[in-house]
Amino acid sequence: MRRSSWVASLSIIAFASTAHAGAPTPDWCTVPARLNLVGVSSGLPDPLGTAVLVVRRFTSPVPSCPVVLDFSECSDVRLSSDGLPAGQTLDCTTHQIRAFTDLEGRVTFDLVGASVGAPRMLPSCLKIYANGMPLHPPIVSTFDLDGRNGVDPLDLSIAFGDMNSGSYRPRSDYDGDGDVDPLDLSMMVGAMNGGGSTTSGAFCAP
């Protein structure tokens, strides 16, 4: 585990060194409160997984800034490169997604993946770096809770179990408010019936 973290840190530093963007100011950056991983339909990511991040140095956007999403501590998350846009890469070994901001300091992620295995208790497992600077971590949730057949009634059943488990399971906290409640189940129903996650993404294999 230590070796994996060491390799992940080195890759972040190396990626950041390829660009000469200004140092971001974390408190001025826009980071979503939560990131929802989704499935795909006809090869396209479910729009419910779209997340926009804006990197700024104080009030000024930072263009061409390297951004890294490091999922290495998200023990129950399995990522997929399905639908990954041009210019973004998924490193299966370090469990990192890498991209660069546009001229307005923005980068848009369409996150495809699933939750597999024992649910983690760590809400802020994701680490985000902009030009090597850590940003405020969001909560990571997944609509596809078994990694099979997209988002279906079985996933709804698992989310219902998470709500009634007596412990906080962030994988089902779709609104990112720090608990799993009927509103989260309502969002799961929306994902199940929305038609955007009919298929599970192909897992990234190291």
pLDDT digits (tens, 9 = 90+) for 38-48: 999 999 999 99
181: left (phi over 0), alpha (psi -120 to 50) or beta: beta
Tokens of 117: 């295995």
For 72-99, the pLDDT digits (tens) are: 999 999 999 999 999 999 999 999 999 9
Question: Which residues are paired to 100 by β-bridges?
Answer: 66
* Inside any domain, residue 199: no
Query: For residues 84, 85, 88 and 92, what is the CA-based torsion angle, rounded to 10 degrees?
Result: 10
Q: Specify the pLDDT at position 15.
A: 52
158 vs 150: CA distance, rounded Å: 13
Which residue's structure tokens are 């973290």?
5
> What mean pLDDT is reported for the chain?
91
Q: Specify the pLDDT at position 206.
A: 66
Q: Specify the pLDDT at position 20.
A: 45
* Inside any domain, residue 180: yes
Tally of domains in the chain: 1
* Inside any domain, residue 198: no
Nearest alpha-carbon partner for 114 in 88, 85, 87, 152: 152
3-state SS, residue 130? strand
Q: Specify the pLDDT at position 11.
A: 55
* Inside any domain, residue 98: yes
Q: Specify the pLDDT at position 160.
A: 98
Residue type, 98: R
For 99-128, the pLDDT digits (tens) are: 999 999 999 999 999 999 899 998 889 999
120 vs 168: CA distance, rounded Å: 9
* Inside any domain, residue 121: yes
Give residue 136's domain range. 2-193
pLDDT confidence band for 205 (50 / 70 / 90): confident
For 151-187, the pLDDT digits (tens) are: 999 999 999 999 999 999 999 999 999 999 999 999 9
pLDDT confidence band for 192 (50 / 70 / 90): very high
Query: pTM score, two decimals?
Result: 0.87
33 vs 35: CA distance, rounded Å: 7
* Inside any domain, residue 206: no
Q: Which uninterrupted H or E stretch holds 110?
A: strand 106-110
The answer to whether residue 134 scores a pLDDT higher than 60 is yes
The answer to whether residue 2 scores a pLDDT higher than 50 is no
Give the HSE-up count for residue 58: Cα atoms under 13 Å, Cβ half-sphere: 0
Q: Specify the pLDDT at position 124.
A: 86
Q: What is the DSSP letter of 11?
A: H
Nearest alpha-carbon partner for 82 in 144, 128, 131: 144
* Inside any domain, residue 30: yes
* Inside any domain, residue 204: no
27, 55 contact by CB (below 8 A): no
155, 192 contact by CB (below 8 A): yes
